[in-house]
A and B are shown apart, each in its own frame.
With several copies, the nearest count.
Chain A
């Protein structure tokens, strides 16, 4: 398969945008400008981008507590995202949701979720809607290795298989659920083998190499659009930071090896290397992309900071739709 250069460069830019957004969000969190909690996606950029590059804007995804990457990859606006993290009225959720509840229905991003495994049934419903609409649309459900032990994983994959729904279940296996290693909580080595229980294909893929992610997802999306049913994709990836940012920025409780292994697998550096080999990337272009992204995130932070806070009684709005 040959991919258009600008598409490859766009993928690279999105990965850098995710990395930069979360790096800056973490800074703003520790500077006290972002309340609540932030779960950084740093190190896993290739999964969100490799997957979402296969999607139409009207395809739908559900996300997790670690949702910034999915949101950016699906095409959301970093300004409205940052404003939400800052708790401002200009944010995607008017400051009602925050980091764990960002959504942009306009681009088919049906929401981050603070409950592990809760996105699987919702994505299954989005896939049902796509099937009933009959426009060859698909749904993608992102979830973690830890989530694959929740009951909703089982019931959702079974239901999706029974109805032959156009859905791709994307397990981001970063090897950890907070401080519990997947090797403890998971009774199997690969989540992908669990596809067997639902008569759907399960594929294990390196989640560091974005083109491999893209390729594997492409086939799964083709199957889904062709009415051939769900696929379970497992991407082995690496979480660089602590499970969540905490005030005072305490040390990541995971063992040294785990903490070190992250940066040894850098999807962005890896992709830059490949693009350079292919003659698509030059030091100056690389420098330019990073600079442009940095500026756009800086702009997003300024937008957020200069946006108004909600009024206290705004809390009473939006309980029910008109």
Chain B
């Protein structure tokens, strides 16, 4: 199977779906890799916009309600807070408010996450805000394979689907195996990225790599770590996460978001409110997240904020103690 990067996997999904369905088109704040689609599909299906996120994110809603399947790419999520009303009050609620009269097939994709010394505004992980907002599906793929399969599912879904592509993963030159053909990964199904028996680590997006690195290191010390990647945060695969925790009896949740009301908070609450899983817990669930601070610029401070392998290892040792 050919090996490609995360970004190439996303572009493959776009090319294949745009060939498959002429109603699929792009609205973006800046072209970037999307420029590669113009030769085949033309500028009318790859539309660059003036800097006005509220207008073009809202336009994607109007186009979706008029029979098209827009993919809207503001670039970084941080740019799109200027369009937050269109996301919160329109995109997330419009299907429901109107009693399900019309479908709104929209893919809203943006980059999130830190690690590039881009400072507070450009290093955010605001996915928990979107989890609390009913009406949107939310996907955060951690590998090229997941990115392509989930992107295709998102494009074919008849609802607004938010996909946050971590900015480190999206820029990464690392490649891995991705089928050339068209395949889908169902939205709402978690993936066990590594089997283990002593402790469950639930890791989101870029944090999956840190969790796997920690698992490798600990295995040499006889500790068997199971790494579960939810892949989809809304809807979340509660069953898969709970049964892993029921098996291991211990859980560490790794999320780059600021800890308060993080996705990790939801995973923890979802685990402990289930009586069977609660009974199976041998130690308190442990969250590994960013502290409640805007992400700082200087690399030393930024690295302190973003969870890494060592934070995961330390947390695992604590829940095993």
Chains A and B touch each other in the complex, with CB atoms below 8 Å apart: yes
- List residues of A whose CB falls within 8 A of some B CB: 35-37, 60, 62, 87-88, 91-98, 100-101, 103-105, 110-111, 113-118, 120-130, 132-133, 139, 146-147, 149-152, 154-156, 158-159, 162-163, 177-180, 184-186, 309-322
Q: At the interface, yes or no: B96 with Cβ under 8 Å from chain A?
A: yes
- A122, B58: Cβ atoms closer than 8 Å: yes
Known: A179-B30, A315-B296, A319-B135. Contact between A97 and B63, CB under 8 A? Answer: no
Known: A105-B65, A310-B298. Contact between A122 and B90, CB under 8 A? Answer: yes
CA distance A92 to B118 in the complex (A): 16
List of A residues within 8 angstroms of B117 by Cβ? 35-36, 87, 98
7 A-B pairs besides A97-B119, A158-B52 with CB distance below 8 A are A36-B116, A103-B102, A115-B78, A128-B59, A150-B52, A156-B54, A315-B304
- A114, B68: Cβ atoms closer than 8 Å: no
Known: A35-B117, A321-B100. Contact between A96 and B298, CB under 8 A? Answer: yes
Which stretch, B79-87, B142-150, B207-215, touches the partner chain A? B79-87
Residue among A111, A147, A318 facing the most chain B CB atoms (10 A cut-off): A318
CA distance A14 to B33 in the complex (A): 39
- A125, B297: Cβ atoms closer than 8 Å: no
- B103, A321: Cβ atoms closer than 8 Å: yes
Residue of B nearest to A186 (CB): B50
Residues of B36-67 contacting chain A, CB below 8 A = 44, 47-52, 54-67
- A125, B301: Cβ atoms closer than 8 Å: no
List of B residues within 8 angstroms of A103 by Cβ? 97-98, 101-102
**7 interchain pairs (CB within 8 A)?**
A35-B298, A36-B119, A121-B59, A126-B65, A132-B25, A313-B304, A320-B135
Q: At the interface, yes or no: B321 with Cβ under 8 Å from chain A?
A: no
- Neighbour of B297 across the interface among A96, A128, A156, CB < 8 A: A96
List of B residues within 8 angstroms of A177 by Cβ? 50-51
Q: How far is the CB of A223 from chain B (nearest CB, A)?
A: 20
List of A residues within 8 angstroms of B103 by Cβ? 321
- B66, A36: Cβ atoms closer than 8 Å: no
Q: How far is the CB of A317 from chain B (nearest CB, A)?
A: 7
Known: A96-B98, A125-B64. Contact between A320 and B119, CB under 8 A? Answer: no
CA distance A180 to B47 in the complex (A): 12
- A95, B89: Cβ atoms closer than 8 Å: no
- A121, B97: Cβ atoms closer than 8 Å: no
- A87, B86: Cβ atoms closer than 8 Å: no
Residues of B271-303 contacting chain A, CB below 8 A = 291-294, 296-303
CA distance A95 to B100 in the complex (A): 11
- B158, A100: Cβ atoms closer than 8 Å: no
Residue among A62, A156, A320 facing the most chain B CB atoms (10 A cut-off): A320
- B298, A88: Cβ atoms closer than 8 Å: yes
Residue of B nearest to A178 (CB): B30
- A314, B301: Cβ atoms closer than 8 Å: yes
CA distance A312 to B47 in the complex (A): 43
Q: How far is the CB of B26 from chain A (nearest CB, A)?
A: 12
Q: At the interface, yes or no: B194 with Cβ under 8 Å from chain A?
A: no
- Neighbour of A122 across the interface among B44, B65, B305, CB < 8 A: B65
Q: At the interface, yes or no: B94 with Cβ under 8 Å from chain A?
A: yes
- A121, B61: Cβ atoms closer than 8 Å: yes
Known: A315-B291, A319-B135. Contact between A162 and B50, CB under 8 A? Answer: yes
- A126, B66: Cβ atoms closer than 8 Å: yes
Residue among A94, A123, A130 facing the most chain B CB atoms (10 A cut-off): A94
- B82, A318: Cβ atoms closer than 8 Å: no
- A92, B99: Cβ atoms closer than 8 Å: yes
- B31, A179: Cβ atoms closer than 8 Å: yes
- Neighbour of A185 across the interface among B50, B54, B78, CB < 8 A: B50
List of A residues within 8 angstroms of B89 by Cβ? 114-115, 118
Known: A37-B118, A316-B293. Contact between A118 and B51, CB under 8 A? Answer: no
List of B residues within 8 angstroms of A114 by Cβ? 78, 89, 118-119, 121-122
List of B residues within 8 angstroms of A179 by Cβ? 30-31
List of A residues within 8 angstroms of B68 by Cβ? 129, 132
CA distance A92 to B100 in the complex (A): 10
List of A residues within 8 angstroms of B297 by Cβ? 35-36, 87, 93, 95-98, 101
Residue of B nearest to A309 (CB): B300
CA distance A101 to B102 in the complex (A): 13
- A96, B301: Cβ atoms closer than 8 Å: yes
List of A residues within 8 angstroms of B309 by Cβ? none
Q: At the interface, yes or no: B95 with Cβ under 8 Å from chain A?
A: yes
Residue of A nearest to B51 (CB): A146
Known: A95-B301, A315-B305. Contact between A36 and B118, CB under 8 A? Answer: yes
CA distance A149 to B53 in the complex (A): 10
Q: How far is the CB of B205 from chain A (nearest CB, A)?
A: 21
List of B residues within 8 angstroms of A318 by Cβ? 95-96, 99-100
- B98, A121: Cβ atoms closer than 8 Å: no
Q: At the interface, yes or no: B111 with Cβ under 8 Å from chain A?
A: no
Q: How far is the CB of A155 from chain B (nearest CB, A)?
A: 3
- B58, A120: Cβ atoms closer than 8 Å: yes
